[in-house]
Amino acid sequence: MRFQPPKIDFSREEVAEREIGRTAAGAGVRRFLIAAFLLTVAGVPVAQYLTESGRIPRAFEIFRAFPNAWRAAVQAEGISGRVSAANASLKADFKAFEKSLESESFIFRRALPPVQRFTSRFLGLGNEKVYLGRDGWLFFRPDVDHVLGPGFLDSGPDGRRQGGPVPALLRFHDDLAARGIRLVVVPVPVKPQIEPEHLSSRHAPAPLRNRSFKRFVRELENAGIECLDISDALVADKVRCPQFLKTDTHWTPTAMERAAGLIAEKIRSVPPASLAGGHAARAPLSGTRPTDSAAGFSRAPATEVVHAGDLTAMLRVGPELFPSESVRVRPVLDAEGKPWRANPAAEVLLLGDSFANIYSAHDLGWGTGAGLAEQLSCELQEPVDRIAINAGGASTARQSLARSPARLAGKRVVVCEFAARELSSGDWKILQLAPPTTTTSGSSGVQPTLEKQCGQDAIAPGKSPAADVRPELASATGTIHEITHAPPPGSLPYKDLLICAHVTDVSGLHEREILLFLSGMTNGTLTPANALRAGDNISFRAVPWTTAEEKLGSINRLEISGPAADIEDIYWTEAVAH
């Protein structure tokens, strides 16, 4: 038997003393290491300060957090309430300050792109938002996480399911059913579900689905909600051509037109008795699947659009690694040969997100007039109304509808489209529609169309969509009670973003308390509005949101949460002064 020396257990301090504490270093080495450390620590803020010469450094904005915390504490009640309010204010301001420093950092803007290009080219690495696939394909990380992650209906640590899409859709269905309106839910599959072979050579047969998806569909159908899964159809069609763009999160025009045809077939079908939800089902819309030359709505000749994918922008690399893509889109025309327009008096309402807007909204860069609502009109040969907001599939589109329940006047079908990743990561607020009245159950209750309030002319490429909103402006002042802030550029697959402020003590308008939308990001650049904080006194020139919504309603926006989200008086302003 071999002799084993006794085991000696050293504490962490003893180990550090033995390994590091007795390291000998000459005076020159010590001075060099100290200088290098100080240079590393001080170099970044000094470089940032030099780039900000001529104006107050952004670093000093952190001191605004303390008066904001004081104001929050004064407005609260009780000692614990004031401490909690001050702590929440400080936490929000510190977080916003950290994001602003990161997005506007000299080092971040200058050093990150070349480093990312190197790691992408030679190491095959993406970043926190983008995975590099095979043969030049890019994938949005939340999409991959949705497919491979835990079931979105799985129970939490306490053994109970926490919220999620089902309760929100059940409430929406019940509110629509009370009006005799049919709900069709369309979760659009994301890229790794349909094109997994471009992400990994080791993949299961497509379509891939989150493990909770079948259960989700079953729960909806048991509750009387129709759910249309188009995944199998897209997989069958990809033998002819790809169904998704290589460097973008969205589908191709061909896949979108295929989806429009499937949705039209679903709308024309008679729902099973088990899906009637206890309410008398209305007759399906008439019509058959039309050809492109059918009377009424038709498709114009295809036009080529060349654009860089949103995943390329999020990866922060130049076009030399991932060049722009080319697609052919077919805009839809009405019976008079004019570009398609949403019709608030239509029997079908499409609620959607960027998958509905991708070939319709100018700010996305992939053409206009050829989106999902347009193609659905062409398939149905019927007008279609549309509320489609980028990144708004989970709640924002429903929230917009809840603020304007008269939009449901004359509706027979509501199609709720959203990216499937929203099932895992979306904020599924339970929203309540106002009870039906005589003004929301017939065509006489339809509000004047937004076309009369704000034109729908095309906006020049690269131009801020807000620049074309030029209605009459009203001068007003107020105090910001709460405001959202844009995340760092490149963290979202959109270059434009609206932020929202809850403004109190308003003068100059009829209301004393409003929600105010502002531009938070334009063409990938943060706007000065992100420097606004709670407690700021501001002056602005505003118009009712309904006036600007036709131009700006599709843009991704960060809404106020909590009770303030229910404020019905909403305005838009291009800029504020404080």
SS (H, E, C) 326-365: EEEECCEECCCCCECCCCCCCCEEEEECHHHHCCCCHHHC
Question: Can the peptide bond before residue 5 be classed as cis, meaning omega within 30 degrees of 0?
Answer: no
- From 417, 447, 477, the end of a domain falls on 447
Are 473 and 442 part of one and the same domain?
A: no
C-beta atoms surrounding 386 within 10 Å: 28
- End-to-end, the C-alpha distance of the chain in Å comes to 84
φ and ψ at 506, to 5 degrees?
Answer: -80, 135
Q: Are residues 302 and 385 in the same domain?
A: yes
| The pLDDT value given to residue 4 | 54
Residue 442 is assigned to a structural domain of this protein: yes
Domains in the chain, number: 2
Residues 435, 477 within the same domain: no
In a domain, 37, yes or no: no
- Kindly state whether residue 198 falls inside one of the protein's structural domains: yes
Helix 79-104 / helix 65-75 crossing angle, nearest 10 deg: 150
- In single-letter form, the type of residue at position 194 comes to I
Question: For position 10, what pLDDT does the model report?
Answer: 58
* Residues 443 and 547 occupy one common structural domain: no
Task: Answer with the one of 447, 478, 496 that is the final residue of a domain.
Answer: 447
Give, for all 578 residues of the chain, the pLDDT tens digit.
455 555 555 566 676 666 665 667 778 888 888 888 888 777 767 776 666 655 556 666 677 778 878 877 887 888 888 888 888 888 877 777 776 666 666 666 666 777 777 888 888 888 889 999 999 999 999 999 999 999 999 976 555 556 689 999 999 999 999 999 999 999 999 999 999 999 988 877 889 999 999 999 999 999 999 999 999 999 999 999 999 999 999 999 999 999 999 999 999 998 766 554 444 445 456 554 444 444 589 999 999 999 999 999 888 887 788 999 999 999 999 999 999 999 999 999 999 999 999 999 988 999 999 999 999 999 999 999 999 999 888 999 999 999 889 999 999 999 999 999 999 999 999 999 988 765 443 433 444 333 333 333 334 444 455 545 545 678 999 999 888 888 877 777 888 999 999 999 999 998 999 999 999 999 888 898 988 888 889 999 999 998 888 888 889 998 887 778 888 899 999 988 87
499 C-beta neighbours (distance < 10 Å), count: 22
Q: CA–CA separation, 86 vs 74, rounded Å?
A: 9
Same domain for 407 and 480, yes or no, is no
Beta-carbon contacts of residue 527 (< 8 Å; ≥ 6 apart): 486, 518, 519, 520, 521
Q: How many whole angstroms separate alpha carbon 406 and alpha carbon 399?
A: 13
Q: Are residues 248 and 175 in the same domain?
A: yes
Q: Are 440 and 480 found together in one domain? A: no
Residue 401 lies in a domain: yes
Q: Of 399, 417, 447, which one is at a domain's C-terminal end? A: 447
Range of the domain at 547: 465-577
What's the predicted TM-score (pTM) here?
A: 0.78
Residues 420, 486: one domain?
A: no
Are 239 and 341 contained in the same domain? yes
Residue 138 lies in a domain: no
Q: Do residue 482 and residue 393 come from a single domain? A: no
Q: How confident is the model at residue 280, as a pLDDT? A: 43
Say yes or no: 225 and 260 in one domain: yes
Structure tokens that stand for 412 in this block: 């027979």
Q: How far apart are CA 384 and CA 417, in angstroms?
A: 14
Residue 40 has what pLDDT?
78
Q: Is 511 exposed, middle or buried (0-12, 13-18, 19+ CB in 10 A)?
A: middle
- In this structure, the number of other CB atoms found within 10 A of the CB of residue 303 comes to 13
Residue 453 lies in a domain: no
pLDDT value of residue 115: 78
Q: Is residue 92 part of a domain?
A: no
Q: Are residues 213 and 337 in the same domain?
A: yes
Q: In this predicted structure, what is the pLDDT of residue 279?
A: 47
Per DSSP (E only), the strands in 269-323 are 298-299, 303-307
**What's residue 533's pLDDT?**
82
Residue 112 lies in a domain: no
Q: Domain of 498: which CATH number?
A: 2.40.50.140
Q: Which residue has the tokens 């004064």?
A: 74
| Maximum Cα–Cα distance across the chain | 99
Cα separation of 487 and 478, whole Å? 25
